[in-house]
Structure 1
Amino acid sequence: MTTADATATTKATHGCALVVHGVGDLRLDPIQPAEPHPDEAVVEIAYGGICGSDLHYWLHGAAGESVLRQPLILGHEVVGMVKVAAANGHGPAAGTRVAVHPATPGGTGVRYPEDRPNLSPGCTYLGSAARYPHTQGAFSQLAVLPARMLRPLPEGLSLRTAALAEPASVAWHAVARAGDVAGKRALVIGSGPIGSLAVAVLKRAGAAEITAVDLHEEPLAIARSVGATHTILATDSEAIAAVEADITVESSGNYRGLNSAIRGTMRGGKVVMVGLLPTGEQPIAISLAITRELELLGSFRFNSEIDDVLVALADGSLFVDPVITHEYPFNESLEAFSTAKDSRLSGKVLISFTPSAMQGAD
């Protein structure tokens, strides 16, 4: 991949990057150096978390309606250290440890609430094929990123834990969509990384009871470790329906999970839909949602929540460490992706981009 293939949003600048070329075709490609614009900083990437969208590009050549049309550098859940600060003086100084807010809001003339830039129709996201040319990601040893994306880490927050800042912000935004959850009964359908992080956010927000649901025991164990007071296997439909939650977070991204969410929510309750279902029509028990007067709330990415998340991670009020279950060096990225796709055994899988993690690489 050359710099001509990359957008101005982000350009990997050193060594190699993790690039998906098509279904099942994931490569460590050499990349050409790129000069940062005055408002861009060079960031030495330390960790990258594998997201479901990364897996979808690899396994299916698409994530929802975002179809791969050119080689794409993956990765938007990244943290690292500023190697070269932006020349215009904006953003963190060299040597600053940073998390990355991967969104670039933008409008196309379609209406949306101005205070919710995550809904802007022209918004781009690192490592996304939603637009062409694609918005290249940051799974590379060095990446050039707009300085406005960079968030300095609070003192005492490790880079490894901070690698969860982006998905934790997604979970934080989802819980916030439900309003005040203090003292309420919560249900979380799907206990993968986003679901378990939603459990952690609900606990911090003061939910009185938190029931987590999943098909497998290992994700439920993770959910318990970050705050779930009860767990249920997804096959036990009667137990799920008996929860009668005030607030349900649906994070499975499956119509069966959404149906379970509807059935497990009390009359007049709220269902926050953060799991992204496949495009097209879905067989949903919508009549039950109508007769129970449920509020069905969509939740998409996040806005400024990442700033609050970093503070909460640093002060320990948001405990998420058990969500990270595996870490692989950059040169073992394919093994990392193979582990991440097995939800029975893994939570959040991290790739380490540090030189020590690359020992033994070709």
Structure 2
Amino acid sequence: MSLLCGRLCPGDVGVKGINTTQPCVKDSREIKRALIETTLKGGRAYLSQFWIERAAMSEQSNLSVVAHGPGDLRMERLPIPEPGPNEVQLQMNSVGICGSDVHYWQHGRLGSFLMQKPMVLGHEGSGTVTKVGLEVKHLQVGDRVAIEPAYPLNNDEFCKSGRYNLSPAMFCSATPPHHGQLSQFYVHSANYCFKLPDCVSSEEGAFIEPLSVAIHACRRARVKLGSKILICGAGPIGLLNLLVAKAMGAAQVVICDLSSARLAKAKEVGADFTIKVEKETPQDLAQKVQAALGSMPFTTIECTGAEFCVQAAVYSTQSGGTVLLVGHGPELVSVPLLNAAIREVDIRGMFRYCNTYPMAIAMLASKKVDVKPLITHHFPLSQAIEAFETTKKQLGIKVMLKCD
């Protein structure tokens, strides 16, 4: 590994799929020269020119994490992509590993999305702009941005009504047939890259994607000031819903899970009560929730997709309240609909997020939400295989890869 650039270069050994030829001496010299020029002359232009030069390296220097099929994950060098007129090229900084990435790696599919060819993984990312397309006006080289990975391809009725996440024609990073962000360099629509303030780190920027899921969920779940909330599941999305619900004014939040370790983390980041699910029935769990809160919750946010939890969510929620289904489980589940119907419990769904990135950035910048305790593991891009194994074994909450 080059001592100056601190990343895997041609000539390094020990990573499957990398062509090893000679050390990256030129890249090391460029980095050293750029650092000296930036320090001595203090000009943004010199740093910007440095990023441009780095983007102009050999076409086979883009280290990427590629899923080839079920159980087949490789580190490969791919061509550096060039931006179109309305796109920006990014040197990726941080990318979080999501459960969907693990699904594509382990099974080659996620629901109805089937991998037909090798695919670069990753959709929770932040990066630094290295090139801008001719039509891009609001970003420039050197800007750090958070990447909204899913956006509509047409200005259809859903876009016009402000619900572009429901558009049938969508681009989404790391969803077949589109490549994801787990590369050193990546190209994305500039309209869906959001500039990060200096007080928001690149790792926090990468967390904006799952944080947006939680913001959209709490909006759909009608979380309001003084609400009592039940959250089913203390994984990353459940914990983020806990943080956002509290930031939106929820008075008390109880969270349930099978894992004692995850419940301990929930307590650490602000849960008022935790319940370890064991062998009780859904009705028994509902009684435990009511005992903890002193009344039935107005809102239940279900983040597991498990049939047991969907049933418990309905039984737990007070009459006139809302059950929001965040977790995606089996296509068909048994739900106590009559119980929900006669008590006017609204069962609502959600998909990804919509118009959430500005709010997510504001929450992080103002410190109303702190996601840093949820980042439990850090790996360089060259150790992506180990990072994915860590995620698969559920050894932490959020595993973050550093791509730069």
Alpha-carbon distance in structure 2 between the residues aligned to 1:163 and 1:202: 20
Identical counterparts, % of pairs: 35
> For residues 91-130 of structure 1, what are the structure 2 equivalents within 5 Å?
91-106=138-153, 114-129=161-176
Paired position in structure 1 for 2:96: 49
Residue identity in the other structure for 1:121? P
> Secondary structure of the residue that 1:115 maps to in structure 2?
coil
Alpha-carbon distance in structure 1 between the residues aligned to 2:160 and 2:304: 27
> Secondary structure of the residue that 2:376 maps to in structure 1?
strand
1:196 aligns to 2:242 (yes or no): no
Which is worse superposed, 173-182 or 83-92? 83-92
1:319 aligns to 2:370 (yes or no): yes
| TM-score scaled by length of structure 1 | 0.88
Residue identity in the other structure for 2:213? V
| TM superposition shift of 1:191 | 0.8
Pick closer, same or farther for the CA change 1:240–1:218 going to 2, 3 Å: farther
| TM superposition shift of 1:106 | 3.6
Paired position in structure 2 for 1:65: 112
> Secondary structure of the residue that 1:170 maps to in structure 2?
helix
| TM superposition shift of 1:59 | 1.4
199, 203, 212: which one aligns with 1:160 = 203
Say whether the 8 Å CA contact 1:108–1:122 is kept in structure 2: no
Say whether the 8 Å CA contact 1:39–1:90 is kept in structure 2: no
1:241 aligns to 2:287 (yes or no): yes
Say whether the 8 Å CA contact 1:328–1:352 is kept in structure 2: yes
Which is worse superposed, 87-96 or 100-109? 100-109
| TM superposition shift of 1:89 | 3.4
Q: Which structure's residues are more often helix, by fraction?
A: 2
When Rg is computed on C-alpha atoms for both structures, the one with the higher figure is 2
Alpha-carbon distance in structure 1 between the residues aligned to 2:167 and 2:154: 5
> Secondary structure of the residue that 2:64 maps to in structure 1?
strand
Q: Which has the higher contact order (CA 8 A, sep 6+)?
A: 1
CA deviation vs aligned residue, 1:133-178 (integer Å, no higher than 9, x gap): x011111001111211210012311111222100000000000012
| TM-score scaled by length of structure 2 | 0.79
- Which blocks of at least 5 consecutive residues in structure 1 are unaligned? 2-11, 355-362
Residue identity in the other structure for 1:197? L
1:23 aligns to 2:70 (yes or no): yes
Alpha-carbon distance in structure 2 between the residues aligned to 1:264 and 1:162: 35
Paired position in structure 1 for 2:131: 84
Say whether the 8 Å CA contact 1:248–1:271 is kept in structure 2: yes
> For residues 327-342 of structure 1, what are the structure 2 equivalents within 5 Å?
327-342=378-393
Residue identity in the other structure for 1:123? M
Say whether the 8 Å CA contact 2:184–2:403 is kept in structure 1: yes
Paired position in structure 2 for 1:186: 229
Alpha-carbon distance in structure 2 between the residues aligned to 1:92 and 1:147: 8
Q: What count of residue pairs does the alignment treat as equivalent? A: 338
Alpha-carbon distance in structure 2 between the residues aligned to 1:264 and 1:33: 51
- The runs of at least 4 aligned residues of structure 1 exceeding 4 Å deviation read 107-113
1:305 aligns to 2:356 (yes or no): yes
Residue identity in the other structure for 1:276? H
Say whether the 8 Å CA contact 2:86–2:190 is kept in structure 1: yes
